Amino acid sequence: MDPGKNIERVAVVGAGLIGSSWAAHFLARGLDVSVTDPAPGAERGLREQIDRAWPIVTQLGLAPGASRNRLHFTPALEAAVAGADFVQENGPEREELKVKLFAELDRLVPPDVILASSSSGLKMSAIQAGCRHPERCVIGHPFNPPHLIPLVEVVGGRSTAAACLERACAFYIQVGKKPILLHKEVTGHVANRLQAALWREAVHLVEQGVISVGDVDDAVSWGPGLRWGVMGPNLIFHLGGGPGGIRHFMAHLAGPFSRWWADLGKPELTADLQAKLIAGVETAAAGQSIAELETYRDQMIIALLAARARAARDKPPGGG
C-alpha cells in the first residue's frame, strides 16, 4: 500500500442520504467524484441532494477547483470505481449485503486503493471476510450530514493493515474532516453509543413522568450541549474541578456519579412509550417542517464551526 498515493478521484457507492452528502463534501473539496447506485431515480435524487447541500458547503468554504460539474453518475459499479483512488461505500446497513459488496469491490479495485464503509454499527471484521485484500478495508463512519459535520470514526477489522488506517485518517484530514481512530471494534462504534446512552436516559425520564419531551431536549441543548460543542465531557469535568482540575473533580464527585450511574434507567421502547415520544416531538416541533428544522440546525452548526475556527486562529502561540 503506497502511503504517498495522491487521492484525486473518489468513488461513492450508494446514493442515499449519506452517500449524496459524502459526494457533496468531496466535490466541495475539489475532487472528482463518481457515484453509483442501481436504484431507479438514484441519479435524480443524488443531484437534488447535492443541490440542496451546495449552499451549505459554499458557506463553509469551497476548495480550489470545487465544482458540481466534477460529478459523474453511473448505475454500473465497475464503471464507477474504475480509476478511483478511494472508495466510500454507503449501502444498506445489512451485513450479508456489505460482505458481498466488499468482495465485489475488492475484485474490481487495485489492492492499493482503500475501501471505506460508512457503516454506522457493523464491524469491519465481518464486512471484509470475503475479500482477497482485507488489509485495505476500513470503517470510515461519518456523522450525519457528512457535508456539514466534521467527525469521522475510523476503525479497522482483524485483517486491516495499520498503514491503511493511517492513510484513511490522512485522507479524511486532507478533505477537512476530523477523524478519530478507534483502537478496537465495538458495535455502534463510539459516537452512536454515546448518543444511545444519553437518549436512553432521556427516554427513561420521559417514561417516568419526570419531564416532558420538549424540556428534556432543552435540558441538553441549553445546558451540557452548549459545552459539548466546545469540549468533550472529560475536559469539561476537568474544568469542573476548578483549580484542582480532574483530580479535584474525582476526589469530590466520583462517588455521586457512581450513584447516579446505578440509578439510570433501562426503558423499553414499547408501543405506548413510542407514541408518547412521537407526540412530544411533534408538539416540540410546533408545526415546523423537517426542511425548516434542518435549515435551523444547519445554520446553527455553521455558526458554531465558524466560531471554533475563529477561536483556533486567535489562540496565542503555545496555548495548547
Predicted local confidence at residue 5, as pLDDT: 66
Residue 196 has a CB neighbour count (10 Å cut-off) of 11
Q: Which residues contact 215 (CB under 8 A, 6 or more apart)?
A: none
Q: Are strands 71-73 and 86-89 parallel, antiparallel or unpaired?
A: unpaired
Amino acid identity at 42: A
pLDDT band of 2, cuts 50, 70, 90: low
Q: How far apart are CA 154 and CA 159, in angstroms?
A: 14
* pTM, full prediction: 0.92
Cα 166 to Cα 236, 302, 307: the distances in Å are 29, 28, 29
Contact 219, 211 (CB under 8 A): yes
Query: pLDDT tens for residues 253-290?
Result: 999 999 999 999 999 999 999 999 999 999 999 999 99
Predicted local confidence at residue 107, as pLDDT: 98
Average pLDDT along the chain: 95
Coil, strand or helix: which one is 137?
strand
Is pLDDT at 3 greater than 60 in this prediction? Answer: no
Which grid coordinates are listed for 34? 463518481
Query: pLDDT tens for residues 45-59?
Result: 999 999 999 999 999
Tell me what the mean pLDDT of segment 18-29 comes to: 98
Taking the alpha carbons of 73, 79, 82, 88 in that order, is the dihedral positive or negative?
A: positive
Contact 135, 160 (CB under 8 A): yes
pLDDT band of 313, cuts 50, 70, 90: confident
Contact 206, 212 (CB under 8 A): yes
Q: Find the helix or strand (DSSP H, E) in which 249 lies.
A: helix 245-263
Question: φ and ψ at 154, to 5 degrees?
Answer: -110, 125
Q: Are strands 137-142 and 178-181 parallel, antiparallel or unpaired?
A: unpaired
Q: How far apart are CA 158 and CA 154, in angstroms?
A: 14
Cα 250 to Cα 66, 258, 259: the distances in Å are 48, 11, 14
pLDDT band of 4, cuts 50, 70, 90: low
Taken in order of first residue, the domains within the chain and their CATH numbers are 9-181 (3.40.50.720), 192-287 (1.10.1040.10)
Contact 228, 198 (CB under 8 A): no
User: If 0-12 CB within 10 Å is exposed, 13-18 middle and 19+ buried, where does residue 123 land?
Assistant: buried
Residue 41 has a CB neighbour count (10 Å cut-off) of 10
Which grid coordinates are listed for 58? 459554499
Predicted local confidence at residue 316, as pLDDT: 64
pLDDT band of 315, cuts 50, 70, 90: confident
Which grid coordinates are listed for 53? 447541500
pLDDT band of 317, cuts 50, 70, 90: low
Query: pLDDT tens for residues 158-193?
Result: 999 999 999 999 999 999 999 999 999 999 999 999
Contact 149, 25 (CB under 8 A): no
Q: Cell numbers 456523522 correspond to what residue?
A: 143
**Could you tell me where the beta strands, DSSP code E, fall in 143-184?**
151-156, 178-181
Question: φ and ψ at 196, to 5 degrees?
Answer: -65, -40
Is pLDDT at 311 greater than 50 in this prediction? Answer: yes
Predicted local confidence at residue 6, as pLDDT: 85
pLDDT band of 320, cuts 50, 70, 90: very low
Q: Residue 204's Cα: distance from chain center in Å?
A: 26
Query: pLDDT tens for residues 74-129?
Result: 999 999 999 999 999 999 999 999 999 999 999 999 999 999 999 999 999 999 99
User: If 0-12 CB within 10 Å is exposed, 13-18 middle and 19+ buried, where does residue 46 land?
Assistant: buried
Is pLDDT at 238 greater than 50 in this prediction? Answer: yes
Counting residues of the chain whose pLDDT is more than 90, the rounded percentage is 94
